[in-house]
Each structure stands twice: as structure tokens, then as C-alpha cells.
Amino acid sequence: MMDFNLTNLSSSSADGQEEKHVKVLILGSGPAGLSAALYAARADLAPVVLSGLEHGGQVSLTYTVENYPGFPEGVGGVQLVELFQKQAERFGAQVEFDTATEVDLSRRPFRVRTYNTTYLADTLIITTGATPRHLDIPGEKELTGRGVSYCATCDGWFFKDKEVIVVGGGDSALEEGLFLTRYAKSVTIVHRRDELRAGAVLQKRAAENPKIKYLFNSVLTEIIGKEAVQAVRIKNVVTGEESERPIDGVFIFIGHTPNTQLFVGQLEMDAGGYIITDKLMRTNIPGVFAAGEAADPHYRQVITSAGMGAAAAIQANHFLDEVSDETESGKAAEKSKSGDFVAEGLAAEKV
């Protein structure tokens, strides 16, 4: 029988690291994590959120979010995350600027180690998000931060009146490419096929922007530069022809990899490394839930991540209720076996 604490408690582990017992521990502070925190806090579960290395997740790197309902004029990514957090904190959620480094899901409560603390968690909600995928071509790693970037909002400003390439043909490539036209002289979208994957609205907006150009059926094979990006080698995948092209910056938006390495061997995942959940956000381990991009290879929207986070918190609450009921009925059964109930009944009669 699991023994669940009703309050968050602190103590020290054998190696001197502070131990904190929490009912709900949320890993990640993007829309999924903060929505889970809001719902868990409103269920009076005093959730603790470990922000992870990227506080607010990917949306905090997005300049404007135009498709989150309730903001008809759009809302800044950073601002939206701040609002999420404020709302969750208002009901008692605690956001810690800390990162999980080790997770042990084989014991209950679950053990999550960070740099300073070991959390003992009755339930765990994993909302660790995803990281931009890399091209893995020569020069990419060496020139990251020196002309190679995965975030237009972060680095666009450095490319005022410069010429940049955006790799990818999805929504991210077009959205970020459009954002880059605020600064850059030209933005060339390099896509490996002759047809974009991006949705119609973004395609129309890009088509109307005179700074956006396209290079279809093309892939980068090398990024060239010493101190900074100077050129790229581009291959036409139809003709096989390769050419070199001078360029100031390369922005790469070719999808994402889920941040789930910490749970390999403990949780069931698909071939892409996304945590497998059922419709109730439950993983293969009872009491462990996953939401947002760590578990979603399909939608990757603020609204869907937020919805999944809320659902995970509701289920965590149900799980704790069920376990607490089981614990109570287990205790009751033991008491009745030992005759305590009879004694209690007699005592009650006397009062």
C-alpha cells in the first residue's frame, strides 16, 4: 500500500541533499507545465514546477503568438508565459528555477534529483517540451551563435540589412522567416521539396512579402565561415548540382526532438522519443503523466499544450484521490481485522 503525504514536507537525504516531499511535481515551465500548475494549484495540491533550463519553454522565444484565444491582437510569447505563471502562482503553485538531472520512477514516491534538491513526488507531470532539430552538416555546430541560429526572435536583430537563409518548409520556417524580414535585407527559404508544408495563411503572407525568396528542391550540405558565417554550399536534390552562395546568417527550422532523454528505459516512448500517453495523459507508470511537446508529435500549439497540461493535472488529482481512498479502505480493513472497529464503535456508543 502506498503511503501518501497530504502536505509538502522538507527533510535531508543521506548524502546531505535537501529532500522535499510534494504531491505534484511538474517538470517544465512552458504552456503545458504552467497550465498543469494552475489546475493542480486550484485543486489545492500545492504543485512545484521545475522551470528547466529554458524558463517558459519555446513560446517564450516567440515574438508574437497570434493563435491563442483571448488575445485578438496577438500577445508576446514572454508576456503570455508571465501571465500563465502569475495565474498559477495566484493559487499557490511554486515555480523553482531548477532542472531535473536524475529521475527514479521505480520507487514511490518518485525521486527527482536536481542540482540542489531531491524531490519525492507522489505524482509527476512531465512537460519537458522539445528542442529544435539540427541539420548535422559540417560548419553547423562550429558556427552556432556566430551566424547559425535556431531562434529568429533571439537573434534576428543581429541581421539588420543582411542576407539570411531559412532552412525548412513548415509553419516555423515561414513564421520565423517572416519575422526576420523586419531586419534582414532578404530572407531565402531553402526547402528540400518543391512544395511547402506550411499552412495557407502563412504561405499567403510570405508570398506577399517582397523580401521573401525561395529555393526549392535544395538542401544545405555545408556552412562555411571562420569567425562567422560567410557562405553555404547548396545542393539541388533533383539535378545533384552543388553551388556555393555567400550569406550572412542561417536559421534552421526543421522540426523538433522531444526532451525526454531523462526518462529513457523508464517510460514507454515512440520511435521519435515522444512519451506515449493514453487520452488521459497517463504514461505506462501510474501516477506519472506527460503533456505538451514531450508527448505530442502532432499539434505543437500553445493551446493544445495548455489543454494537455490541464488534463494531466486533473488526472493527477484523480490519481491522488484514488490512492488516498485505497489507503483509507486498506487501513479500515486492517482495523476491522484487528477488532479496532469494534472497540471504536463501543467507545462511540459510550460518548
Among 113, 146, 162, 197, the residue binding ligand NAP under the rule CB under 6 A is 197
Q: Is 253 in the site for ligand NAP (CB under 6 A)?
A: yes
In the complex, minimum distance from the CB of residue 22 to ligand NAP, in angstroms, rounded to a whole number:
32
Residue 151 is a catalytic residue: yes
Q: What residues are paired with 96 via a beta bridge?
A: 50
Which three cell numbers mark 300? 505543437
Give the per-residue contact string, 39-78, with ligand NAP (x = CB under 6 A; - = no): ----------------------------x-----------
Q: Is 154 tagged catalytic?
A: yes
Measure the CA dihedral 40/101/256/164, to 10°.
120
- Give min distance, CB of 139 to ligand NAP, in A: 15
Q: How far is the CB of 193 from ligand NAP (least distance, A)?
A: 4
Instruction: Select which of 155, 171, 248, 296 is catalytic.
Output: 155
Which residues between 218 and 237 bind ligand NAP (CB under 6 A)? 219
Contact 251, 157 (CB under 8 A): no
How far apart are CB 253 and ligand NAP at their closest, in Å? 6
Among 76, 92, 170, 273, binds ligand NAP (CB under 6 A): 170
Of 52, 168, 258, 309, the one binding ligand NAP (CB under 6 A) is: 168
- The residue from 3, 44, 104, 154 that is catalytic is 154
Please identify, using beta-carbon distances, which residue of 64 and 327 lies nearer to ligand NAP: 64
In the beta sheet, which residues pair with residue 215? 190
Whole-number Å distance between alpha carbons of 276 and 315: 16
Under 8 Å between Cβ of 101 and 115: yes
Question: Rounded to the nearest whole angstrom, what is the least distance from the CB of residue 17 to ligand NAP in the complex?
Answer: 38
Contact call for residue 297 and ligand NAP (CB under 6 A): no
Q: How many residues of this chain bind ligand NAP (CB under 6 A)?
A: 19
* Cell (9 digits) for 281: 495523459
Contact window for ligand NAP (CB under 6 A) among 151-159, 161-169, 237-245, 273-281: 161-169
Binding test (CB under 6 A) with ligand NAP, winner from 83, 254, 262, 303: 254
Of 162, 192, 205, 318, which one interacts with ligand NAP (CB under 6 A)? 192
Site string for ligand NAP, 103-142 (x = CB under 6 A): --------------------------------x-------
274 counts as binding ligand NAP under rule CB under 6 A: no
Query: Per CB under 6 A, which region of 30-38, 192-200, 226-234, 320-328 contacts ligand NAP?
Result: 192-200
Q: Does 205 bind ligand NAP (CB under 6 A)?
A: no
3-state secondary structure the chain: CCCCCCCCEEEECCCCCEEEEEEEEEECCCHHHHHHHHHHHHCCCCCEEECCCCCCCHHHHCCEECCCCCCCCCEEHHHHHHHHHHHHHHCCCEEECCCCCEEECCCCCEEEECCCEEEEEEEEEECCCEEECCCCCCCCCCCECCCEECCHHHHHHHHCCCEEEEECCCHHHHHHHHHHCCCCCEEEEECCCCCCCCCHHHHHHHHCCCCEEEECCEEEEEEECCCCCCEEEEEECCCCCEEEEECCEEEECCCEEECCHHHCCCCCECCCCCECCCCCCECCCCCEEECHHHCCCCCCCHHHHHHHHHHHHHHHHHHHHHHHHHHHHHHHHHHHHHCHHHHHHHHHHHC
Residue 273 interacts with ligand NAP (CB under 6 A)? no
Q: How far is the CB of 281 from ligand NAP (least distance, A)?
A: 19
Which of the residues are catalytic? 151, 154-155
Site residues, ligand NAP (CB under 6 A): 67, 135, 167-173, 175, 192-193, 197, 219, 253-255, 299-300
